[in-house]
Amino acid sequence: MASFLEKVKTLISANLHAIVDSALEANSVKVMDEYVRQAEKNLEALEDSAATIGGNVKTMKRKYEELASAAEKLDRDIDALILKGKDDLAAAAQLELNTKQQLAQEYYEQWQEQEKQYQMLLQMRRQLEGKMNAIKQEREQLRALIELAEAKKVATKTIKGLDGLANIGDEQINGLAQKIRANLDREDARLEMATQNLSDQIEEAVGGSLVDAQLEERRKRLLGKSDGGE
């Protein structure tokens, strides 16, 4: 999983200008086609991973809710047992409650962690898809730019990327190069904002008390209420 995510991060962080410049130097859009191919392959894998983790999120959430509900009922039962003076049963029930609460907390933490990973995968998918679409959109314009340069017998080996093409003085080539440059800058800015918005937090678990202390606290609360009502 880690190596796969590293591949995706590499694709996401790929410099759009560098890809375009490489295509210009090679006088071909094949480098862009290869990026799209790799992006599409990893997008499919991202979707599969996200679906698996998304399923885990639902499972952990359901188990947590089931345990939390059972613990809530058991909590009420302990109160009733204490009021009836059945301390042995209350102690056994308190032990069971502690176990359920601990399990519920563990499922809650797993649920939150899985949710964090799920959102991260969805975010990575959006970022990679955005960058891939940007490459696709510029591919045809770049191909036209290369053809123009060839038609005018511009030696592409002496041109260093879009900046070089934008400075050769030809109005048509200059305009197309500037348009590609602006589109790439806009997409870079959009992806940067999306990255900054990715933020998740996991709540810390709250520890429990000893059984005797818990029962004593209940006893004081419940019997105190009973005495006050008489």
Amino acid at 82: I
Answer whether residue 154 shows pLDDT above 60: no
Residue 227 belongs to a domain: no
Looking at the domain assignment, is residue 229 inside a domain? Answer: no
Q: What is the CA radius of gyration of the chain?
A: 31
Q: Which of these, 11, 18, 12, lies nearest to 163 by C-alpha position?
A: 18
Residues 2-56: tens digit of each pLDDT: 687 888 888 888 887 888 888 877 878 888 889 899 999 999 989 899 999 999 9
10 exposure class (CB count in 10 Å sphere: 0-12, 13-18, 19+):
exposed
Highest mean pLDDT among 79-83, 144-148, 207-211: 79-83
More confident residue, 148 or 106: 106
| Residue 228, in any domain of the structure | no
Q: What is the DSSP letter of 27?
A: T
Residue 47 within a domain: yes
Q: Choose the most confident range, by mean pLDDT, from 17-21, 142-146, 163-167, 173-177.
A: 17-21
The mean per-residue pLDDT over the stretch 60-72 comes to 94
pLDDT in tens, 206-227: 333 457 777 878 888 888 765 6
Residue 214 tokens read as 């818990």
Q: Is residue 9 part of a domain?
A: yes
The answer to whether residue 26 is domain-embedded is yes
List the domain range (segments joined by +) for residue 82: 2-222
Residue 230, domain member (yes or no): no
Q: What is the mean pLDDT of residues 144-171?
A: 57
Residue 226 confidence (pLDDT):
58
What is the pLDDT, as a whole number, of residue 221? 82
| Number of structural domains the chain divides into | 1
Alpha-carbon distances of 24 from 27, 79, 102, 131, 207, rounded to whole Å: 5, 77, 61, 19, 61
Q: Cα(first)–Cα(last) distance of the chain, in Å?
A: 64
Q: Is residue 210 part of a domain?
A: yes
168 pLDDT tier (thresholds 50, 70, 90): low
- Cite the DSSP H helix spans in the chain: 2-13, 16-26, 30-83, 87-151, 161-166, 171-196, 211-229
Report the alpha-carbon distance of residue 176 to residue 184 in Å, rounded: 12
- Residue 69 CA to residue 97 CA, distance in Å, equals 11
pLDDT given at position 68: 94
